[in-house]
Every structure is written in structure tokens, then in C-alpha cells.
Structure 1
Amino acid sequence: MTDSAPTDAKPKREAKPKSELRDTLSFLVKLALIVFVIRSFLISPFVIPSGSMLPRLLIGDYIFITKWNYGYSRYSLPWGIPLIPGRILARNPHRGDVVVFKAPPLNKEDWIKRVIGLPGDTVQMRGGQLFLNGKGVPKVRVANFNEPITPNTECEPRFVTTIQGKQICSRPRYRETLPNGKSYYVLDLGNTIADDTQVFHVPAGHLFLMGDNRDNSEDSRFPQEVGGGIGYVPEINLEGKAVVNFWSTDGTAKWLLPWTWFTATRWHRIGEGF
């Protein structure tokens, strides 16, 4: 009778039982990192809270902004986390770009305006007309901007009218064309203090931004003040460039009535680019 040969085989370790909680937490962390990267460096949503960019943007519009156009700074990151020193991969915007930025002086709220003046430019309003570097920007009267009156409409009584049995807000609209050929619509609702200004000299590293709703926009025409104007906006405050509407609602939807989510949608505005 022979002895059996010795063996070097080691007993197998029992696999650790899977932890559903650990796997779920791992998935959520990875998902949060992916969302953080996408929102910080690629694309981010933005909802329009006011009528300062009428007629292009309505209250209740949802848009995407691309984050790479002007480089990155701490304001590219959610909550302005100071992980990026200064501004990297910096590129200047073009006149006429619609941009999202952290609004001075607090640099906490996200605002959206149109780039009018670049560093070194002079900007002035005279009698409601924009002057850039001493030359008047062409402003041509076009058909009124007619907007159905809904909960997301801010309309002065003098502009309320009825068309085909529906209440409409009908406001004077003009087309402006900048020296670089960029053309867009603006609203001019009458004579206001913002129609005649001093000559603004845009300093280095800053921008002059304005809303398209010229008589209802706190912008670079007004000095920096909490709850008021924004003055010259540092380029480092730029977050991204507006590129497309991906949703729009007139404000009539109710959370507990799902069918109203569809009836409240402004379908014709989805997909509109800049």
C-alpha cells in the first residue's frame, strides 16, 4: 500500500458576500462624478427666470450651454468650487454671443445676457440706439413681438391686446446688427433712463453685457449693486455659451396633473438654436 502524494493546493477562500448597500453607494459616487465632469466641462442646463432676454428667451425656457467655448475657471464648477486657479484655456467671446455667467458683485447667481462690448471697446446708448466704438448699430423696426399671456408672461397693461379671441402681449420689436454681422431682435418699450447713458470704456479682462429686453434688464449699463446692475463683468465669470432650447413651459403645468405637463409645453420652441 503506497502513501498518497503530498499536495500544495491551498484551500479556496470563500468569496465575500456582496453588499447591496456598498454596490449602490459605489454606483451613486461614480454617477455623481460623471455628472460633475459633464456639467463642469461639457454641457449644462439653464432655466430662464426672467424676461430680460425677450424676445429670444421666454420665462420658462430651458436651454443647454456649452462649457468649453471660453475656457474654464472656478465658476465653471458647480457652486464655484475653487479648484481651478485663474482661467485656463481662455478664449474671448464674440460680440453677440449669449452667455451665462456669475453676476457681480456677489458672483453667486447665474445670469444670462448678450455680449455687446469687448475689452477696449466703447459703448453708449443714445436715444435708445446702441453706439459701439462711436458708430451707431443699425436698429430696424420689424413686426411686434406677440406672446400669449400665460402665468410665465410679464406684460404691462398697455401692451395687452386680443387677437383671434386670445389675450396677447404685443411689444415693439427691432432688429440690431453688430459690426461683425451678428443680428438679433431686441425690444424697445419706450423712453427710460437706460436709453441715454455715458460712454462706457470696457477695461481689459472685462465685458459689457446687455439684455435684449432693453427697457427691462439690469445689465452693464448700471453700476454693480446687489439686486441691481452688474457693471463690467470679468471674463473669468463666464460659465458657458447658450446653444439650444431643449424645453419650454408656459407655466400652466401642475405637478399632480401629469397631462398638463404636455399641454403647458411650448413645443415650437424646442430645438431653437442661437
Structure 2
Amino acid sequence: MSHRSVLLTATSARLRALTTTDRPAGRRSALRGLVVPAAVALVLAFVLKTFVFQVFVIPSGSMMGTLQKGDRVAVDKFSPWLGDTPQRGEVVVFRDPGGWLPPEPGAGGVLGGVRSALSWVGLAPSADEKDLIKRVVAVGGDTVDCRAGRPLTVNGTALEEPYVYPGATPCDDYPVGTVTVPPGHLWVMGDHRNDSADSRFQQLHNPGGGFVPTDHVVGRARVLVWPLPRWASLPVPETFRHVG
């Protein structure tokens, strides 16, 4: 074998060695290029869900007139960190004050794992988070008068409620009479009054009463984001601006 042939053989062997050692390194580099951005995205999603906003799925028809079952709303969780408190007329998401929701068995297996992962980043509701959505009608210190055959009044002012589901009555289903909201609490009602186990129902049937502690409020629902054809903001109705 000539010197030139020996040199070419050695060069080929060296190239093969370099190629085989570079392949795993290249795969590892490509994998890092996928894993790192995905991890950053998940952390950002978790931070946004925890401190800024979260998308919630409407679980029932109790807010029909404004929100349908299955709608998605974007809930502002940042404003409470700045000291904002719930105001009359706002639609808010809040944790179960106790006994408002029946216990539900959590999903197990692969489905449960997927749901837990999606809820961790705020893309699905968690089975552990017992959340409800209602409209704030009165805040601490307010007096609510809720009687059959009459309009709902707050601090003596009768509310005009165009947001109430057509055909529903303000208070006929659960006429609780006159109640005063304790400081640090809220009186909440669904827009579909005939299909809402809200503060009225809880006041009559729940030993814990119908008041929601303000520190149970997760945030204010500001925008209906899905379905897209019905995209809309959720402002405070004009009638609440006239309550003394």
C-alpha cells in the first residue's frame, strides 16, 4: 500500500469517528432547543395564570342573559394585587364560600393527568378549584331588598336590569326580604335568576348564609373571549352607577 493510500484511509477513519461522535451531540443540542423554549413558555403561562389573568369556562346556565354555558371569559387577577376590591355590577369569579357546590370526583388516569397539566398553566379548570361566577349586586354595608313581585333594590334604589335572562324574575324564586351585607362580604346573584343558586338560595338553605367573603374573589371577568363571534367586554351596567 502506498503512502498516499494509507493517508486517505486514516483520513476517512477520522472523519467517520468525528461524524459518529457529532450525531448524539447534535441531537442533544436540537433537543435542548425544543425543551428550553417549551419550559420558558410553561413558566410564563403559569405566572400569567397565577398573577395576571386566567381563562375560565362557564360551568352552568346561571349567568344566561350575559354568559352561556361553555363560554370562556378572561378573568383579571392582577387588579386585586393592586388593592382593587369588587364593586357593584361587576361579574366576578370566586371560590366556594362553603357548601355552594356539591363535591365532584376528580378524573383519574391519563385523562386526569392531562387535565391537571392543562389546569396548572391555566388552560383548563381544575377539579380542585371550586369556583363560581356571579354578578356582584351589593357590597359590605349595603342593604338589599329582594321580594316576590317587586324589583330588586339596593340601598333603596330599584335596579333596572336589562342583563337578566328574558322571562326571569328579579326575586320571585327566592324572596329573602331585606338583608344587610356584612363588612368584607358581597351579595352576588346570577343573571338567570330562575336558574341560579346564588346568595338568595344560600341565604335560605345554607347554614353558612349567602354572603361571599371578598378575599374569596379570584378576579373580575372582563372579557368574553370565546366563542369569537360573541366576543365582548363585560362592563358595569349603568343602573349600578345610581346606587347610593
Aligned counterparts of 1:216 and 1:104: Cα–Cα separation in 2? 19
Letter in 1 for 2:168: L
Contact 1:45–1:63 (CA under 8 A) maintained in structure 2? yes
Contact 1:209–1:233 (CA under 8 A) maintained in structure 2? yes
Letter in 2 for 1:31: A
The 5 Å alignment of 1:86-97 reads 89-97=82-90
CA drift of 1:124 comes to: 2.3
- Secondary structure in structure 2 of the residue aligned to 1:38: helix
Match of 2:43 among 27, 33, 48: 33
Relative to structure 1, is the Cα distance of residues 132 and 226 closer, same or farther in structure 2, using a 3 angstrom cutoff? closer
Instruction: Give the alignment's TM-score, normalised by structure 2.
Output: 0.63
Aligned counterparts of 1:210 and 1:229: Cα–Cα separation in 2? 16
Aligned counterparts of 2:40 and 2:203: Cα–Cα separation in 1? 40
CA drift of 1:200 comes to: 1.8
Provide the residue aligned with 2:130 in structure 1. Answer: 109
CA drift of 1:210 comes to: 0.6
Give % identity.
35
Let me know the Cα RMSD of the aligned residues.
3.2
Aligned counterparts of 1:49 and 1:228: Cα–Cα separation in 2? 24
Unaligned stretches of 5+ residues in structure 2: 1-21, 100-127, 236-244
Aligned counterparts of 2:62 and 2:167: Cα–Cα separation in 1? 12
- Secondary structure in structure 2 of the residue aligned to 1:34: helix
Unaligned stretches of 5+ residues in structure 1: 1-14, 72-88, 140-173, 176-183, 249-265
Relative to structure 1, is the Cα distance of residues 130 and 226 closer, same or farther in structure 2, using a 3 angstrom cutoff? closer
Provide the residue aligned with 1:98 in structure 2. Answer: 91
Letter in 2 for 1:132: V
Contact 2:91–2:234 (CA under 8 A) maintained in structure 1? no
Does residue 198 (structure 1) correspond to residue 177 (structure 2)? The answer is yes
Letter in 2 for 1:221: R
Does residue 124 (structure 1) correspond to residue 145 (structure 2)? The answer is yes
CA drift of 1:232 comes to: 0.8
Match of 2:191 among 209, 212, 219: 212
Contact 2:164–2:193 (CA under 8 A) maintained in structure 1? no
CA drift of 1:220 comes to: 1.1
Relative to structure 1, is the Cα distance of residues 270 and 137 closer, same or farther in structure 2, using a 3 angstrom cutoff? same
Larger radius of gyration: 2
Aligned counterparts of 2:61 and 2:208: Cα–Cα separation in 1? 15
Provide the residue aligned with 1:65 in structure 2. Answer: 75
- Secondary structure in structure 2 of the residue aligned to 1:26: helix
Letter in 1 for 2:186: L
Aligned counterparts of 1:226 and 1:41: Cα–Cα separation in 2? 34
Letter in 1 for 2:131: D
Letter in 2 for 1:100: V
Contact 1:99–1:240 (CA under 8 A) maintained in structure 2? yes
Higher helix share: 2
Length, aligned pairs only: 182
Contact 2:76–2:221 (CA under 8 A) maintained in structure 1? yes
CA drift of 1:192 comes to: 4.0
Relative to structure 1, is the Cα distance of residues 33 and 202 closer, same or farther in structure 2, using a 3 angstrom cutoff? same
Contact 1:205–1:235 (CA under 8 A) maintained in structure 2? yes
